[in-house]
Structure 1
Amino acid sequence: MTTSLSSVIKKLLVLFLVFSGLYFAQEFLIPLCIGGILATLFLPFCNWMENKKIPKSIAVLACFISLLLIIIILISLLGWKISELLDDLTLIKQKAITAGNGLQQYIFNHLNISITEQFTILKKEQPSYSNIFQTIFGSLVSILASLILVFVYFAFLLYYRNHIKNFLLKLVTPSKREEMEQVIYNATRVSQQYLLGLSKMIVLLWIMYGVGFSIIGVENAIFFGILCGLLEIVPYVGNITGTILTVLIAAANGANPTLLGGIVIIYGVVQLVQGWVLEPLILGPQVKINPLFTIIVLVIGQLLWGIPGIILAIPLTAMFKIICDHIEPMQPYGFLIGEIQIQKKEIEFVEKLKKSIKTKK
């Protein structure tokens, strides 16, 4: 009994030290993890160019330029749609002022706090403009520095990938090297599968949300479609957040209850198609983490690394599951994290769907 209790305490202590290390080393680990995951996404493209006898440095440079172009296109697309949304800012601001005046009057009538006293309280609570400017400037500098590090890690991890792989193989005994090589391959593959699948999913969600919102007459439908699609980066929570924002802004623009109900219905239909059709076809079973642990790792990611932790939680957990599946003492943890085996009827449904798509092609 004493031995088992001591073993549990040691495991909890190791777990605490791991999480403490992840928290305190976040400034180093976040750019490294993002750069590494992006590098795995471009790995097939880089290998293809090198197989065509293109020098490695040129191949890595081409991958780097491609990544920059993708980021610039996404920022330009969002900026274009946000500029259209700002056209309605005056109307939203007027409605917000009206709502604020109504709230002030309500506080005066029910709490007997005059409007002058309310302004005095708010002025005390509000930070100074200099503090706001310093916070914003510091955040922008931090984001820029992290972005530069991401690009640096991305380029060098691609360039030195074989060197790093050989180092990992040297860490194990010769008899275990074949298994280690399989772990490395599966870990990089699951990251590629997740990122490529997520990219395809986001594009399809853009189309479905954009078409749906346009049909029911939502203002700036394309923008909200793009927003809801991009928030798919955060499973479960992201789409709900995007839909709530769409409903709130539509309500601020004077949308009637029918339109607001239509937005909710479109969200439900898209989620149904996504869960039963898109995810089995695009993401596949290897990336799947059961919903319970999806929520758990998202919460832990947010607590440890904030928003980057939420974005990185799923691919890093999928890689961790691959490692657990190949190390015998850790296999129960991989089983616990993984998705429950889908039923025979669901397998038959997915297979029929794949066959019908291939037939149409």
Structure 2
Amino acid sequence: MEIKVYPFYARLSLSLVAIFLIFFFLKYAESIFIPMSFAGLLAIMLIAPCDFLEKKGIPRGIAAIVSLLLSVFLVVFVLYFISSQIISFRNDLPALVTQFESVLDSIQVWIKHRFHMTHTGMQQLMNSAKSQTISSTGSIVGSTVSSLSNTLLYAVLIPIYTFLLLLYRGLVVRFLIRAFQDQHTPKVYDILGKTRHVIKNYIVGLMIEMAIVAFLNCTLFFIIGVKYALLLGVIGALLNLIPYLGIFTALILSCLITFTTNTPTVVLELAIAMVGVHLVDSNILLPRVVGSKVRINALATILGVVVGSMLWGIPGMFLAVPIVAILKVIFDGVDSLNAWGILLGDDRDEATVHQKKKHGLRWPVLRKRRVPAGEAEA
């Protein structure tokens, strides 16, 4: 049977339409894919304790429940610690509001003298800002209620999906094996094993990194004299899970809260401390603790975080790096997709180095052409 080859523009058009439909489907069905993605990552993490309990003679269903309950207790403990700090912050909220209003008054006086604005003009500017804030309050409340309802829904669905994935993980593997031809079975097993290894190493390393960053943040904040050192240190470590963008969010939030409770000198010291911890994290902790066999370059990571935010919001930002890592494992395992795996990796990646050695590729070096003596004399 003759295989028809379509022109390049036709294949490009079909690829773009397929990508658009995939992204549209991911956005439209986010209520399904977000909890399923978190459940899949959690299930991969809990396979090891489930296997350990099953080897002791415990049925698979009970082993899955016990492993899931242990992870739920750990999450509840972390949330309880954060909520206790938030309660302390809430008790001081009226004083913070008063302090923030005094700061706004000082800014208003500075603007008035700096730009020579009259009292009437300043009052009109403040009234306009207040009216815009009041008009946007309804949408803010609506989005907050929607986010809260989605969070509660995910909190119920993720444990259920995780339990079912652990219970039927053998069925999922058999489905993936049957979905491809027999000659691809070793390759499918290899990709599944590498995916599990990469995700497990990434998440475990991320938890260790988060604990170290939280400890460094809290210690430095206590030394500096920040009032909400524990709360800001833990929040900074949690936001640090978002690659490249989380540090800026944590820095702005911490500086704003500290500015209403401390002097500008303390705010400056806090900013320097957070930047210092971030430099230690990026250059020491991240390569050694979170580093794995699959390396993703900074461009692919940032694009993944941005696309994840566009599709699924904050959950998409957290899921971006694991999903990109899984895609890279798949691309490296499929010969026809190796180019995409190289695009996601960096020069230190084993697959990239192997391809360069295989084809004798080196970075081009511009050399000055030697001019023969006859040409030079002419």
User: How high is the TM-score relative to the length of structure 2?
Assistant: 0.82
Counterpart check, 1:267 vs 2:274: yes
What residue in structure 1 maps to residue 183 of structure 2? 175
Counterpart check, 1:36 vs 2:5: no
Distance 1:115 1:223 in 2: 36
Which runs of 5 or more structure 2 residues have no equivalent in the other structure?
1-5, 351-378
What residue in structure 2 maps to residue 60 of structure 1? 64
Q: Which amino acid letter does the alignment assign opposite residue 158 of structure 1? A: L
The Cα shift of 1:236 comes to 1.4
What residue in structure 1 maps to residue 223 of structure 2? 215
What residue in structure 1 maps to residue 301 of structure 2? 294
The Cα shift of 1:55 comes to 1.0
The Cα shift of 1:39 comes to 0.8
What residue in structure 2 maps to residue 320 of structure 1? 327
Q: Percent identity of the aligned residues? A: 26
SS of 1:93's partner is helix
Deviates more, 1:297-306 or 1:181-190: 181-190
CA 1:78 to 1:287, structure 2 compared with 1: closer, same or farther past 3 Å?
farther
Counterpart check, 1:81 vs 2:85: yes
Distance 2:296 2:132 in 1: 47
The Cα shift of 1:295 comes to 0.7
CA 1:128 to 1:187, structure 2 compared with 1: closer, same or farther past 3 Å?
closer
Choose which of 18, 27, 40 in structure 2 pairs with 1:14.
18
RMSD in angstroms over aligned alpha carbons? 2.6
Distance 1:130 1:10 in 2: 42
Deviates more, 1:89-98 or 1:100-109: 100-109
The Cα shift of 1:128 comes to 8.9
The Cα shift of 1:144 comes to 1.4
Higher helix share: 1
Q: Where do 1:316-355 residues align within 5 Å?
A: 316-341=323-348
Which runs of 5 or more structure 1 residues have no equivalent in the other structure?
344-361
SS of 1:312's partner is helix
The Cα shift of 1:9 comes to 2.2
Q: Where do 1:156-175 residues align within 5 Å?
A: 156-175=164-183
Q: Which amino acid letter does the alignment assign opposite residue 310 of structure 1? A: M
CA 1:77 to 1:179, structure 2 compared with 1: closer, same or farther past 3 Å?
same
The Cα shift of 1:103 comes to 6.2
Q: Where do 1:54-203 residues align within 5 Å?
A: 54-101=58-105, 109-110=117-118, 112-113=120-121, 115=123, 119=127, 122-123=130-131, 126-127=134-135, 136-203=144-211
Deviates more, 1:235-244 or 1:110-119: 110-119
What residue in structure 2 maps to residue 353 of structure 1? none
User: How high is the TM-score relative to the length of structure 1?
Assistant: 0.86
Distance 2:223 2:34 in 1: 41
The Cα shift of 1:140 comes to 2.6
Deviations along 1:332-358, one digit per CA (max 9) or x if unpaired, are: 111111133189xxxxxxxxxxxxxxx
What residue in structure 1 maps to residue 244 of structure 2? 236
Distance 2:143 2:233 in 1: 31
What residue in structure 2 maps to residue 354 of structure 1? none
Equivalent pair of 2:295/2:349 in contact (CA under 8 Å): no
CA 1:195 to 1:110, structure 2 compared with 1: closer, same or farther past 3 Å?
farther
Distance 1:278 1:176 in 2: 38
